[in-house]
Amino acid sequence: MSQEIYERIRGNPKFQALVSKRNRFSIVMITLILVAYYGYIVLIAFDKALLATKLSAGGVTSIGIPLGLGVILFTIVLTWIYVARANSEFDPEAEAIIKESQQ
């Protein structure tokens, strides 16, 4: 790959925009997963009683169980959201930038 193409991509404002958009998105997603996981752990460390509360009067299932399964599902869903956006939005933009640089 010639240095000229790199220079053109570097000078393209669309490239800078793509990089900062992707970084922003990654940071938001990482923050969400950190909050979900550590929120759950901190809740366990400091308020076990809350997690042990029953979902319904007379039932046995505690709040902690749907919450925990929720963290697992949240992890999976979050990953797919990132992949979907990257595949449908970031990739075509990156391709367009490369194309422009080769003209």
Partner 1 sequence: MKTFAKLSHAVVAIALASVAGLTFAAGADLGQTQQQATNWTAISMFAIFVGATLWITKWAASKTKTAADFYTAGGGITGFQNGLAIAGDYMSAASFLGISGLVFGSGFDGLIFSIGWLVGWPVITFLMAERLRNLGKFTFADVASYRFAQGPLRSFAATGTLVVVAFYLIAQMVGAGQLIKVLFGLEYIYAVVLVGIIMMMYVLFGGMTATTWVQIIKAVMLLCGATFMAVAVLFQFGFSPEALFAKAVEVHAKGDAIMAPGGLITDPISAISVGLALMFGTAGLPHVLMRFFTVPNAKEARKSVAWATTWIGYFYILTFIIGFGAIVMLPLDPAYYVDGDLALGLKGGGNMAAVHLANAVGGNLFLGFISAVAFATILAVVAGLTLSGASAVSHDLYASVWRRGNADSKTELRVSKLTTLALGVIAVLLGIIFEKQNVAFMVMLAFTIACSANFPVLFMSVLWKNCTTRGAVAGGTVGLILSVVLTVVSPGVWEAALGNPKGSALFPYASASMFSMTAAFLVIWIVSLLDNSEQAKKERALYPNQLIRSETGVGAAAASSH
| Residue numbers at the binding site for partner 1 (CB under 8 A) | 1, 3, 5-6, 9-10, 15, 18-19, 22, 26, 29-30, 33-34, 37-38, 40-42, 44-46, 48, 51-52, 59-62, 64-65, 68-69, 71-73, 75-76, 78-80, 82-83, 86-87, 91, 94-95, 97-98, 101
Smallest distance, partner 1 to C-beta of residue 65, A: 7
Smallest distance, partner 1 to C-beta of residue 13, A: 14
Smallest distance, partner 1 to C-beta of residue 12, A: 10
Nearest 5°: phi and psi at 12?
Answer: -80, 120
Contact 85, 25 (CB under 8 A): yes
